[in-house]
Amino acid sequence: MNERVIHEMRKREMSIDYPKLWFSLYHHVNVHNKPMRFDDRYRFLLPLYKSLPTNLAMEKAVQCGATELFVVSALEEAARGLRILYVQPNFDLRNKFVKDRLDRLLRSVPYYYYLLTHALGGTTMSTGMKHFGKGLLNFVGSNTPGEFISYPADSLYIDEVDQCDVKNLELAPDRLDASDYKYDRQIGNPSIENWGIDAAYQESSQGEWIIKCDK
């Protein structure tokens, strides 16, 4: 058995066992239009790409790759048929985020473009809502309460919790009530102790990623 065949077999196994990691390594590109890598400063993310918890409250530093993880995860889940609710702090940031981080990917990555143009619900390129693969992506701003009404979701992502409208965020988990999945994940740079993302973290298992520095 030659090396190419072995590589393709391992690639296929990864697509089944670790689909988010497969998306990231074989299709996704970062904001600099470069392939994903998990060495040096980003190696702590590898276990999350292999197995992202159903419920997650992550306190993070800036520019650590957590938002990229959320984007890859949302795309992978939508591709296999889930309905995604992705929350940004406000309407304007939602628009900038989608145009810069998402629309560019959907047009430039061949596999993503295929999933977009062959989506089960038809092709849509509105800013907020996009059919993708077998599922649906819905990007909203937390400052618009109407965005949280009448959209049943399977997977909830809240990005930069402490910058969001906390009162409106209380409506978001209700969108998961009818789902068999109920994925509820949030990330943010903590700003106040026992508030926002820190409050969610304190109610979690309070896991920590500890990376041993190279000598």
Q: What CATH number is attached to the domain comprising 62? A: 3.40.50.300
* pLDDT tens-digit series, residues 110-165: 999 999 999 987 776 688 999 999 999 999 999 998 888 889 999 999 999 999 99
* pLDDT tens-digit series, residues 73-112: 999 999 999 999 999 999 999 999 999 999 999 999 999 9
The predicted model scores a pTM of 0.93
Asked whether residue 15 is assigned to any structural domain, the reply reads no
Distance CA 169, CA 198 (A): 15
Q: How many domains does the chain divide into? A: 1
Asked whether residue 23 is assigned to any structural domain, the reply reads no
Using an 8 Å Cβ cutoff, are 153 and 85 in contact? yes
Asked whether residue 41 is assigned to any structural domain, the reply reads no
Asked whether residue 11 is assigned to any structural domain, the reply reads no
